[in-house]
Amino acid sequence: STSSVLPAEKDEPTASTDSTAKVASKSQGSTAETPKQKLLDIIGGMKVEVSYRKKLQQLKAHEIKKRATNKLEDQDSEGSMLRKAKEDIQRGKPLNPELVEAASAVASSLPLNKKQTESELLAQLRRHEETTDKQKKGGIINIRNVISEMSIKRQSRAERGVRISSRISLEMDEDGQRIRPGRFAPQSFDSRSLKVGKRLNIFTKVSTETENALKTVSSPTIWDLEFAKEIAAITAQPPRNGFEEMIQWTKEGILWEFPVDNEAGMEDDAEFHEHIFLEKHLKDFPKQGPIRHFMELVICGLSKNPYLSVKQKVEHIEWFQKYFDEKKEFLQEI
């Protein structure tokens, strides 16, 4: 039940911050805002043990309930606030019905499950009462003791000592290896899991783009190329049998790929009309005369040629064009 309460409690501070803001806005105490905010900031920036943090959460919840009912005077520091909260705890019993009302009010103000939060707040109150009773019986009011005792998942000093000592076991086996204590680590992390809690935003995500850019900038040096060549030469073992030899030949291009592909190496993606209708390439030629006649014959022949690609045909026509352009002066003399 405690573990189920734990995530709810984590939600509580975030929710309670909202509620504190709302309560502050509701109540007219503007002086109460700044110390509250200060407290919240401090709590947010603090790295504390879970038990201490829970204690603070509980104290905050107390504060909220108190402020819902009565107004506050000036409070400067967190210590004074804690002291005030401690006083509240001491006065827990007579405030009980009022606290219950305050708890219901707070729960109603929160955006989450109202009944659930209310029940959780009341459970917290009950725990507070128990601890205060213990304190009264003890007599000495020491915050440290209060905090240590108020942790939900308590490790008594004896148990803790046992655990630590069991981790570092000095007993030796027959082989001379230490007796391993067993898996204690996951148990100890139950109360404080890594991914729970407010983000501290200390580390920024390293952008992988810059890394990739840096890697591509440095081109391989000659030594790297040589080294790569050496490795390739050494790893290229002679073929063990005829099959491997044929594979090698196929890779090199000496041997065709079977079944034989008649159009291997021929990649003419042009349509038939590009092969046949080549008159569009004759735009720069004169319309009349023997040259035109000649070029039309050329085009006729090229359109009937299935062995050339469109690119080669166009190259032919362009060569003729260039040739006749060079010979233009000569032709005009004739």
Binding site for another protein (CB under 8 A): 223-224, 226-227, 230, 233-234, 236-239, 248, 290-291, 293-294, 297-298, 315-316, 319-320, 323, 327, 330-331, 334
Is residue 151 within 8 A of residue 54, CB to CB? The reply is yes
Give the shortest CB-294-to-another protein separation in angstroms: 5
Give the shortest CB-165-to-another protein separation in angstroms: 50
Give the shortest CB-325-to-another protein separation in angstroms: 13
User: Closer to another protein at the Cβ: 131 or 248?
Assistant: 248
User: Closer to another protein at the Cβ: 48 or 255?
Assistant: 255
What is the token pair recorded at 323?
A: 């040739």
173 φψ region: left (φ > 0), alpha (ψ -120 to 50), beta (else)? beta
Give the shortest CB-322-to-another protein separation in angstroms: 10
User: Closer to another protein at the Cβ: 202 or 234?
Assistant: 234
Treating both helix axes as pointing N-terminal to C-terminal, what angle do 50-69 and 33-45 enclose, rounded to 10 degrees? 160
Give the shortest CB-227-to-another protein separation in angstroms: 5
User: Closer to another protein at the Cβ: 190 or 318?
Assistant: 318
User: Closer to another protein at the Cβ: 42 or 331?
Assistant: 331
